[in-house]
Structure 1
C-alpha cells in the first residue's frame, strides 16, 4: 500500500454518532426506529487502524462525555452494505467507561451485501449501557459516514469474493534474494477456479507499492494482466521502500500486497497477504538490504 493510500485510510476514519441518555417512546422495533441525535452521554466513532485493515475489522471508539462512569454491555452498527450487524460484546460481560475518556474496541466486519443495490447507505447505531443507580437502557441513533469508511470496506470484501470465484491468488512462500542482496523476487501464483472453462473476466490493472516494499525502477511490476483459464505466475522484483530503524519493527501492512483489479463492471483493491513464513523472509531481506545500504 502506498503512503498516499494509507493516508486516505488514516484521514478517512470515521463514523460518529451521539446517543441520548434517556429512551424515547417505544414505537416498534427499536433497531428499525433510530432516534436522532440530541447531545448524549456516549459518542461512538468507527475507525480502522493498520492492525484492523489487514484483518477485515474496525475499531469502535466509545467516549463517555459525562462526569460519572457508565457501564456498557454491547454496541452495534447496522448498515445495508453488510449482511449482518457489526457488533461488539465485552469478553467479561460489561465494560466500564471512565468519565471523559474514550476506549477503542475491535469489531469484525460481517460479509458484505454484494448482491443487493441499496438506495441508501444509512447507518443505525445501538448501544446498551447503564448509569450509576439506573436500569440498563438500549439507545438507537442514526449514524453518518462522511468519509466513506464502510462503503470502502464493503467494496473490498465484494471484490475479494468475486475474485475468489474467478481465481485463487497467493504469494509463493519462497523468496529469491538477488546475489547483491539489494532486491528479491516474490511470485504471485494465480490458479483459475475453473481451469479451461469460461467465467467472469478479471484484470490486474496494477499493483501498489506498500509501506515496506517498492518495485525496482529497472524491473517494474506488471500492469493490465488478464487472468485467464490457465495457471500463471507473476514474478515481482521488490526492494525496501524505507530503511529507517523502525521499518520492520513497526510494520503492520507492509507485506499486504494491494492489487488494483477489474472484475466485470466492478473495480477495486484486492489485498494479498504474505504467509507467516514469507513475511519472516521479507523482514529478514529488508533488514539485510537496508544494512547493506548503510554499510
Structure 2
C-alpha cells in the first residue's frame, strides 16, 4: 500500500510550523508541532460489521507508558475529501476515531495522512503528523468499490425498481428490476452481472456474474433483474446476517482492469428493500 506522504514531506511540515497543518482550530494553532509520541501508531480500517455503511475509523494504538488524550484528527488522502474528527478521547491502550468516509475516487494507495491534536498525560496540547496504515486492506477495497461505482455512473444512470416475491415456498424468488440508462459519455463500460452473497444466491434468470452476463452500457436503456433465493435455509444465518444483502455489481472498464479482486460495488438497495429481502427469507424456507 502506498503512503500518501513521503518522509521528506512529513519532515518539511513538522519544520514549517502550524501554518502547514490543514483545518487548524484555535487550540491547534497555538500548539507545538512535534514528532509523533513514541509508541503511538495509527491504522485505517473498516470492520466487517460496518460494511453496510460508510463508517470507518482511525485506530490509535498506544504501546507507550503514558496516557494519550486525542482532541482532533484531520484525515486526508488523494482518494477522498478531507475529514475532520473532533472530540476528547483519553486512552491508555487503543481508541477508534469513527467517521463517515466521503465518496472515494479512483487511484492508487489506501493509507491516509493524519494530523493529530493531542496531549500526553497532563502535558500541553501538541500536534503531530503520521500515516494511518490500511493494514488489512479493507479501506483499499472500500475505495475500489467507490471507484467502480464512479466509473459505471459516468457511463449510465442506475435505477432500482420495486422488488416483489414471485411464487410460493421453496419455489419462490425475490425479483428486483435494475435499469441502466446510458449517459452517452463513454462506450467502454460493461455491466458484468450481480454476485452471490453469504445469505442469497442468484436464481435462474438473474443477471448473474457467474453466468457470464455482459451488458455494454451504450444505446437505449436496458433493464435486468436481480433474482435471488436463500443460499441455504438456515435460521441462524438470517438472524446473524450482516453482509448478506451486499450484492456486488461487477463492472468492466479499461481503468478497472487491474483492481485487486475485480471491479465491483454494492448495489444500493437501501433499508426498505433490504428489510423486504430479509422478510422473504423465512416464508421461502418455511419458518
Q: What's the TM-score once normalised by structure 1's chain length?
A: 0.73
> CA shift at 1:73, angstroms?
0.7
| Runs of 4+ displaced beyond 6 Å | 34-38
Q: Which residue of 2 aligns with 1:180?
A: 169
Q: Which residue of 1 aligns with 2:272?
A: 277
Task: Name the Cα RMSD after superposition.
Answer: 3.4
Q: Which residue of 2 aligns with 1:209?
A: 196
> CA shift at 1:286, angstroms?
0.8
Aligned with residue 187 of structure 2, among 187, 192, 200:
200
Q: Secondary structure at 1:243's aligned position in 2?
A: coil
C-alpha contact (below 8 Å) 2:36/2:128 kept by paired residues: no
> CA shift at 1:266, angstroms?
2.3
Counterparts of 1:284 and 1:231, CA distance in 2? 30
Q: 1:144 to 1:36 in 2, by over 3 A?
A: farther
1:88 aligned onto 2:76: no
Q: 1:151 to 1:246 in 2, by over 3 A?
A: same
Counterparts of 2:160 and 2:75, CA distance in 1? 34
Q: Mean alpha-carbon deviation: is it higher for 139-148 or for 166-175?
A: 139-148
Counterparts of 2:45 and 2:140, CA distance in 1? 13
Bigger helix fraction: 2
Counterparts of 2:130 and 2:270, CA distance in 1? 41
For these two proteins, the number of residue pairs brought into alignment is: 258
> CA shift at 1:276, angstroms?
2.5
> CA shift at 1:66, angstroms?
4.0
Counterparts of 1:43 and 1:266, CA distance in 2? 32
Q: Mean alpha-carbon deviation: is it higher for 126-135 or for 218-227?
A: 218-227
> CA shift at 1:214, angstroms?
0.6
Q: What's the TM-score once normalised by structure 2's chain length?
A: 0.74
Counterparts of 1:263 and 1:24, CA distance in 2? 39
C-alpha contact (below 8 Å) 1:81/1:150 kept by paired residues: no
Q: Which residue of 2 aligns with 1:108?
A: 100
> CA shift at 1:68, angstroms?
4.6
Q: Secondary structure at 2:163's aligned position in 1?
A: coil
- Any idea what the Cα deviations from partners look like across 1:240-273, whole Å, max 9, x if unmatched? 1243333233322222211111134324112212
Q: Secondary structure at 2:90's aligned position in 1?
A: strand
Q: Secondary structure at 2:247's aligned position in 1?
A: strand
C-alpha contact (below 8 Å) 1:177/1:285 kept by paired residues: no
1:290 aligned onto 2:279: no
> CA shift at 1:137, angstroms?
0.9
- Unaligned regions of 5+ residues in structure 1, if any? 1-11, 16-22
C-alpha contact (below 8 Å) 1:37/1:142 kept by paired residues: no
C-alpha contact (below 8 Å) 1:166/1:199 kept by paired residues: yes
Counterparts of 1:158 and 1:168, CA distance in 2? 15
Counterparts of 1:96 and 1:133, CA distance in 2? 11
Q: Secondary structure at 2:267's aligned position in 1?
A: strand
Which residues of 2 match residues 46-125 of structure 1 at below 5 A?
A: 46-82=44-80, 84-90=81-87, 94-97=88-91, 99-100=92-93, 102-114=94-106, 123-125=112-114
Q: Secondary structure at 1:246's aligned position in 2?
A: helix
